[in-house]
Amino acid sequence: MTEEIFPTWKQEYIHGLEESLAFYGNPSKFEREKWVARRLVSSLGIAFQDEEFKLGEEPSDVLFRSAHFQVKEMLNEGRKRTQELKEKLKRAKAAESFTELQEHYTPQDITFTEIVERCAKFVNDITNHYGPRERNNTDLICYFNYVDYHETNAVKIENGNNAFRSFSIVSNRFCAVVKTAEDAPNFLSENIGRVVMCY
């Protein structure tokens, strides 16, 4: 990139950061959770209308047909995303060249098998926060949103968690339905064990 286009690029970069801050704010909570649920459903190849995704009542976040999705996001330990975005925005506004906004990026490889194991452990840790009736009617989606990780193509599923009616995972590259109970929504049960690319 040439320095001549820096002012335009900087303005677009700042606008993107401001949109991200708004998206991750409390008023956009449902939109974030709906985005995760839509990502799972669309990646499984299920046709739908956007209005089928509705705001749920606790403990459900998103209702879709017979599914009562609750979305739990996993971030890197100690990561404070809002503060991270605010700091990036502050640097962007003060930057006078491209080099001032460059970030060192050395991602670690992680297989989807490892992601499933980490998500299953995370779910085990939170299971006691719910009563049996809540778990039996909840379709849990774990959104694995680590930064500085590159997901590789090892996609064997070995471990899961069946404390909830269903347990699915959405990562930045893959989606999968890991476990389902007998009374889970059919569109989830029919896809159990499939690992598909997210889009």
Q: What is the pLDDT of residues 111-137, one digit of tens each?
A: 988 999 899 998 888 888 899 999 999
| 129 secondary structure, DSSP code | G
Q: What is the pLDDT of residue 176?
A: 93
Q: Is the pLDDT score of 109 beyond 80?
A: yes
Query: Beta-strand (E) ranges in 49-191?
Result: 53-55, 62-64, 67-74, 108-110, 139-144, 149-151, 166-171, 174-180
154 falls in which pLDDT band (50, 70, 90)? low
> Is pLDDT at 2 greater than 60 in this prediction?
no
Question: pTM of the entire structure?
Answer: 0.83
Whether residue 87 is predicted with pLDDT greater than 90 in this model: the reply is no
Task: Note the Cα 105 to chain centre separation in Å.
Answer: 21
Please determine, for residue 161, whether its predicted confidence score (pLDDT) is greater than 70: no
* Domain spans, the chain: 3-197
Backbone angles phi, psi at 182, to 5 degrees: -60, -35
The dotted CATH code for 3-197 is: 3.40.1540.10
